[in-house]
Amino acid sequence: MITFYNDRHVLHHGKVEMFRGELVPCFEIPARADHVLRELQARGLGAVQAPPDFPDRALARVHSQRYLEFLAGAWDEWVALDPANAQRDALPSYWPIRTFRSDVLPASFPARMGLFSFDAGTPLTSGTWAAARSGACCALGAARAVAGGARAAFALTRPPGHHAGADFFGGYCFLNNAALAAQALRDAGAERVAVLDIDYHHGNGTQAIFYERADVYFASLHGDPHTEYPYYLGYADERGSGAGLGFNRNLPLARGTGFPEWREALAQALRSIASFGAQALVVSLGLDTFAGDPISGFRLKGHDFLRIGEDLAAARLPTVFVFEGGYAVAELGVNAVNVLEGFQQRAA
């Protein structure tokens, strides 16, 4: 399995995030990807290479132009407000919620930052745009490889992507790598593509991007949003709308869920994807379902991730894996590569 690795991910290294009323060190750190890369290399699971470059118009297939322009220039604008800002991350503090307008682009940078975000836990840093853009190229490169005949490919990158919408960031995410991969597979000729999100946290951004479309099926199993982030999306009654009605499936699970119940939800999602008639699959590979994850609540063990890989391979679809969450950093490499190894063994 070929891996597209984003060595520029280290440029995005937030200092602090807002977590339950206080500024704390970021959970989403460069060591996450480093552990996965070392484990991949230790097991010799396939070639690791840098991503090809793609033009910005490829990003605009999923994201709005004004949002992309904001991200590309945000750091320079932040520092221009106050040279001292070069030493601290940018975090939003205003949001245009109900009754406020979002169609007008404010001149104020803090106002625009709030317009394009949904939480205060996602620091924007000097290297965020470079890291996120290179990561998007990893996802697009993996999609190109799979569209070209590869059985599977892995986009190993951070920051993650599945919480990012067409025109907003949050949940540590800026560009939606899984959505970009799915759109690239569609553009390459796959008539029906499925995105399966197995992160502990619902992929609200991916759902929103495809919610009114019938050509991309979104399925997610995740912590129940009654109690779990991102709270405001991910309920079982969200089935799509307009042309997309019936092409969205959420399987929320209670905190404390163990592997047997979780695996049954995975089986339900895979059956739905099979019924949809998907010709290619994108997996938002979150590993924060692990029992030791510090900000999640499922009880999966390391060996369970091998079984997950096997179950995904049994779907017999060309598959793009996109690295998402997982914050038990020391165990993250083993858990991620267990999924890929299980997949590869079953697909052989």
Domains detected in the chain: 2-347 (3.40.800.20)
Q: Confidence band (pLDDT; 50, 70, 90) for 145? A: very high
Q: Does residue 19 have a pLDDT over 90?
A: no
Q: Which residues are catalytic?
A: 163
- How many CA atoms lie less than 13 Å away from 125 in the CB half-sphere? 24
Q: Are 161 and 175 in contact (CB under 8 A)?
A: yes
| Percent of residues in the chain assigned helix, strand, coil, to nearest 5 | 40, 15, 45
β-strands 48-49, 2-5 pairing = parallel
Q: What's the pLDDT score for residue 348?
A: 78
Spatial contact of 306 and 165, defined as CB atoms under 8 Å apart = no
Q: To the nearest whole percent, how much of the chain has pLDDT over 90?
A: 98
The pLDDT-based confidence of 69 (bands split at 50, 70, 90) is: very high
Which pLDDT score is estimated for 21? 84
Nearest Cα to 187, choosing from 145, 138, 144?
Answer: 144
Q: Which residues pair with 221 in a beta bridge?
A: 251
Output the pLDDT for position 230. Answer: 97
Please report the pLDDT score of residue 319 as a whole number.
98
117-129 average pLDDT score = 97
Model pLDDT, residue 318? 98
Mean pLDDT of the chain: 97
Backbone angles phi, psi at 48, to 5 degrees: -120, 125
pLDDT at 138: 98
Q: Is 348 exposed, middle or buried (0-12, 13-18, 19+ CB in 10 A)?
A: exposed
CA distances in angstroms from 251 to 55, 66, 140, 248, 310, listed in the order given? 35, 33, 27, 10, 20
pLDDT tens, residue by residue, 32-41:
999 999 999 9
Task: Give pLDDT tens digits for 273-291.
Answer: 999 999 999 999 999 999 9
Look at strands 280-285 and 193-197 and give their pairing: parallel
pLDDT score of 235 more than 90: yes
* Tens-place pLDDT, residues 172-231: 999 999 999 999 999 999 999 999 999 999 999 999 999 999 999 999 999 999 999 999
Q: What is the pLDDT of residue 324?
A: 98
Taking the CA atoms of residue 43, residue 38, residue 341 and residue 162 in that order, the dihedral angle to the nearest 10 degrees is -170
Other residues' Cβ atoms within 10 Å of the Cβ of residue 72: 15
Task: Output the six-digit token pair for 255.
Answer: 């905190």
Confidence of residue 107 (pLDDT cuts 50, 70, 90): very high
| DSSP 8-state secondary structure symbol assigned to residue 85 | G
What is the separation of C-alpha 127 from the centre of its chain, rounded to a whole number of angstroms? 18
Residue 165 confidence (pLDDT) above 90: yes
